[in-house]
Each structure stands twice: as structure tokens, then as C-alpha cells.
A and B are shown apart, each in its own frame.
Chain A
Amino acid sequence: NAGVMQNPRHLVRRRGQEARLRCSPMKGHSHVYWYRQLPEEGLKFMVYLQKENIIDESGMPKERFSAEFPKEGPSILRIQQVVRGDSAAYFCASSPSREYEQYFGPGTRLTVT
């Protein structure tokens, strides 16, 4: 049973470009969570999604960031017009339901130049 998959593992973008981060949850998991870890800091919750629905986006910056989890395919975290401050590791986690522990993927390291 494959774990949570994230791609790309490393992403370099110039300021002003768009970044798309993908997360495929574990098989049988329909709940997806995104977290961000800035350099030398702890992980911070961004958004929680179930299939086709955003349940909690209280941790998402108000502008430029969006997330989706379509009926088919991976969850996508999209960052428009990236700035240097967006450089971070972005982790996705999944669980089979809200009451179960979350399992994390290896992360995508975004570098904005």
C-alpha cells in the first residue's frame, strides 16, 4: 500500500510565476490536509479538503493561494504570482476519516528565485 505521494519533490519558480503542487492520498483516504513549513519553523496548517469540498481553509493566505481535491485525480495546491516568502516545504497528509491519524507525504520544496 503506497503512502502519500507528492510531486514534484522540488520546484523552482521565478517571482510572479505560478506553482502547482500535487498530492495523491493513500488508497482509501478521502481526507486531505495541506501544511506549510517555513525554513527553521514548525508546520502550519493551511487547508483541509474532502473529495470536491473545502472543509476548512482557515490557514490559507487570503490571496494567491487556492486548493482543490477533485472527484478524480490528486489534490492540487496552487500558488499564483509567487513571491520569495512562499519559499517553503509544503506537506500533504491524508486520512480515511476525520477521526483517524493523518499520514504525511514527503513534501514539495518550493524555491522562489
Chain B
Amino acid sequence: DAKTTQPTSMDCAEGRAANLPCNHSTISGNEYVYWYRQIHSQGPQYIIHGLKNNETNEMASLIITEDRKSSTLILPHATLRDTAVYYCIVYIQGAQKLVFGQGTRLTINP
């Protein structure tokens, strides 16, 4: 079973920052926070991951709270192509399987 809680759906205006929250209050010290997204019915796309520190790449930023019980994925300038289901996953590296929850359905509106 997924160890994360995410809102079922969110809306964001095109060009604005999309902030997707995730609660993972039972996360262990050696578990990472991973984010994937699935656009329409395509294969999931890796976005970013982190352990304790905030992370940034060309796609997004990941902010992890100091107690690691929650995190936020930030898409800085959302476009219509960012409309997708976003999955927050806690994962021990080397654990072999990703456990997907229901995710957040993000809709970017023009």
C-alpha cells in the first residue's frame, strides 16, 4: 500500500507555479521521496527525487520539510503540457518496486 497522501485533484493557471503537496508522515530515515507523472495514458515519467535536502532540476523543484513528514513538488511555470497525474512515492533505493498511490490529477487551465 502507498505510504503517501495526496490531494485527489488540483487546478492551476497556465504560467503560474503549480505546488503539489504530499504527506508521508511514516517515512523512514532511509526512504527517499520520488515524484513521477503520467500524462494521459503514457508511461510514467520520472521527475525528481530527494532524501532530506531540497532538490531542483530542469523540470521541477522538490521541497522536503525538516521533519521529512511532507514535501511539495513545484513546477515553476506550468504549461498546458504539464496536465497529468502526479505520483509522490516513498522508496528505499534498491527496494525494487515503486508503489503507486492514486496521485494528484493536476489540470493546467489556459
* Residues of A bordering B, CB below 8 Å: 4, 33, 35, 42-45, 48, 55-56, 58-59, 89, 91, 93, 98-99, 101-107, 109
Instruction: Please name 8 further chain A to chain B contacts, defined as beta carbons within 8 Å, in addition to the given A99-B93, A107-B42, sorted by A numbering.
Output: A42-B101, A42-B103, A48-B96, A58-B97, A91-B44, A93-B44, A101-B34, A104-B44
Q: Choose among A48, A91, A99, A106 the residue that contacts B97 (Cβ–Cβ < 8 A).
A: A48
For A35, A103, A104, which residue has the most chain B Cβ atoms within 10 angstroms? A104
Whether A103 contacts B96 by the Cβ 8 Å rule is no
Which DSSP category, helix, strand, loop or mixed, fits chain A's interface?
A: strand
Min distance, Cβ A89 to any Cβ of chain B, angstroms: 6
Residue of B nearest to A89 (CB): B41
What string of 1s and 0s marks CB contacts (under 8 Å) between B85-110 and chain A?
Answer: 00100000111111111110000000
Min distance, Cβ A6 to any Cβ of chain B, angstroms: 8
In the complex, whether B45 has a CB less than 8 A from a CB of chain A is: yes
